[in-house]
Amino acid sequence: MTLTRAARWLLIAAIAWGAFAFGAVYPWAYWPLAIAALAVALAGIFAPAPRGWQRLDLAGLTLALGALILAAAIQLVPLPYATVSSISPEAPSIIAQLDPAAGLGLGPRHPLSIAPANTLAGLGVIASLALLVVGAARLLSISGAASMARAITVIGVLLALTGIIQQPLFTGKIYGFWAPMQGGSPYGPFVNKNHFAGWMLMGLPVTLGLLLGGVARGMRGARPGLREKVLWLSSPDASSLILLLGAAGIMALSLILTMSRSGMLAAALVLVVTGVWALRGYRTTAHKLAGIALLSVLILAAIGWAGTTAIANRFSSGSTTDLSGRVDVWEDALRIARRYPLVGTGLNTYGLATLFYQEFNLSAHYAQAHNDYLQLAAEGGLLLTVPAAACIAALIVIIRRRFKQEISHSTYWLRAGAVTGLAAMALQETVEFSLQMPGNALLFVVLCAMALHRTPVRTRSSH
């Protein structure tokens, strides 16, 4: 087995592990995930390049990712308390309450993070995923992205069926034996239904990319005439399209059955954007109509099965003026960000910071901001948000370049699906924290790699 093939299988196994091991939310799940991500990243970076290899030109993104990791590492550098106080005036009093030794004055120095152990753990996971962006992009540029997309589809269908089957049988324990440690609203193997929806928001567009790519190739070899078109329906290409349509339907249905409002709204974005891809990407009217027809069938089947009444009742429940209390939670996050504007409280420390700064609904502890953009600002201040913004900008620039360079129709549709999944997750993150689930974060990184990779040399002329 070659290095690239072994790395590809390890990455597929990691995606499945991240999804089925409760989103890899527990330490026993996310540390193996981080190790696997690091192994795949190194294999992708050091795998021998094939003949005709073209550089990936990821220098800008690599520098931005490196700056992000360095910024998080700076939060761990021990500094004199006077320096910490000058940078974050409120930090010493919080540190004294969290760290008994610091409170007794036993240490002359302390990192900028209010909880260095939490920040170190977060840095370890994020560093492995940052390396994976580059390593997986190179790996897919060598071996191709189609097999990875098909693997995501298979995992997505199995995950969707797990959720659909478990829902009517659920007794409070995931898989029938695991009771979530901190409660929640489980769906499938995920402790929170919104996080299950987040995984599907990334997996479904990849499947739709495969489906629309199949439509683009469909009936390419069929001769004119009704009889030939009917015979084509028994071909392997037609069977593949039917299977992909069924897979997409199962995944979409499971997403809707979560009744996650953020998930359903982001899913609507997925379908709209995918429809735009179909109208812009196909060359003939027949292909455009076929693509839109398949998407319409998918929408009607999923909504019809789930029930329009249930969906309408879900959106009519809860408060629309404060987004079910999220506005107050966001105000808490903004208050923390204003108190720590330069360096934040420390990566992965928001849950501890709210023990001291939460003002909304004190009967419950909000360990997440329900908006990862605001949480990043609170945990990282300008120190982390600036390089994070640079990463996003570099990602967008390179993806635009890839679309302009692309001459393979198959890769075009896979890239379109990956970009759609990234956009859907970016939307859901305004009201949720799905990417704080390491399993979801890993899939997000794989989609980044699919969007960034170059078409392998051997398929560069495929249509």
Could you tell me the residue ranges of all domains in the chain?
3-76+111-324+362-459, 77-110
DSSP string, 412-436: HHHHHHHHHHHHHHHHHTTT--GGG
d(CA 213, CA 245): 12
The residue among 402 and 233 whose pLDDT is bigger is 402
Supply the mean pLDDT for the chain.
Answer: 89
How high is the pLDDT of residue 460?
Answer: 47
How high is the pLDDT of residue 180?
Answer: 84
How many Cβ atoms from other residues are within 10 Å of residue 406's Cβ?
16
How high is the pLDDT of residue 462?
Answer: 43
Residue 463 in this model has a pLDDT that exceeds 90: no
Confidence at 3, pLDDT banded by 50, 70, 90: confident
Residue 276 in this model has a pLDDT that exceeds 50: yes
Give 444's contacts (C-beta < 8 A, 6+ positions apart). 202, 422, 425, 435
Q: Of 94, 3, 58, which is closest to residue 350 (Cα–Cα)?
A: 94
CB contact at 8 A, 197 and 255: yes
**pLDDT average, residue stretch 240-261:** 93
Residue 140 in this model has a pLDDT that exceeds 50: yes
Biggest distance spanned by C-alpha atoms of the chain:
87
**pLDDT average, residue stretch 177-188:** 83
pLDDT above 70 as % of the chain? 92
pLDDT in tens, 324-374: 678 999 999 999 999 999 999 999 999 999 999 999 888 888 999 999 999
Least confident of 43-52, 151-160, 255-264, 368-377: 43-52
Q: With DSSP H G I counted as helix, E B as strand and the rest as coil, what are the percentages for the chain, rounded to 5?
A: 70, 0, 25
How high is the pLDDT of residue 222?
Answer: 53
**pLDDT average, residue stretch 170-198:** 89
Least confident of 51-55, 268-272, 376-380, 416-420: 51-55
Give 416's contacts (C-beta < 8 A, 6+ positions apart). 209, 212, 274, 277, 281
The residue among 217 and 138 whose pLDDT is bigger is 138
**pLDDT average, residue stretch 399-419:** 91
How high is the pLDDT of residue 241?
Answer: 86
CB contact at 8 A, 36 and 12: no
Q: How far is CA 263 from CA 127, 144, 196, 208, 254, in A?
A: 28, 29, 9, 17, 11
Residue 248 in this model has a pLDDT that exceeds 50: yes
Residue 164 in this model has a pLDDT that exceeds 70: yes
Residue 225 in this model has a pLDDT that exceeds 60: no
**pLDDT average, residue stretch 118-142:** 96
How high is the pLDDT of residue 440?
Answer: 98
How high is the pLDDT of residue 309?
Answer: 82
The residue among 447 and 293 whose pLDDT is bigger is 447
Residue 122 in this model has a pLDDT that exceeds 50: yes
Instruction: Provide the angle, in degrees to the nearest 10, between the axes of the packed helices 409-428 and 372-405.
Output: 170
How high is the pLDDT of residue 279?
Answer: 84
d(CA 132, CA 30): 15
Give 231's contacts (C-beta < 8 A, 6+ positions apart). 222
Give 11's contacts (C-beta < 8 A, 6+ positions apart). 36, 40, 136, 139, 148, 446
Alpha helix stretches (DSSP H) within 219-307: 226-232, 236-257, 261-281, 285-306
Q: What is the enclosing helix (H) or strand (E) of 108?
A: none
Half-sphere exposure (CA, 13 Å, Cβ side) for 355? 11
pLDDT above 90 as % of the chain? 66
Confidence at 286, pLDDT banded by 50, 70, 90: confident
d(CA 348, CA 311): 34
**Tokens read off for 143:** 């071996």
How high is the pLDDT of residue 210?
Answer: 94
d(CA 264, CA 311): 9
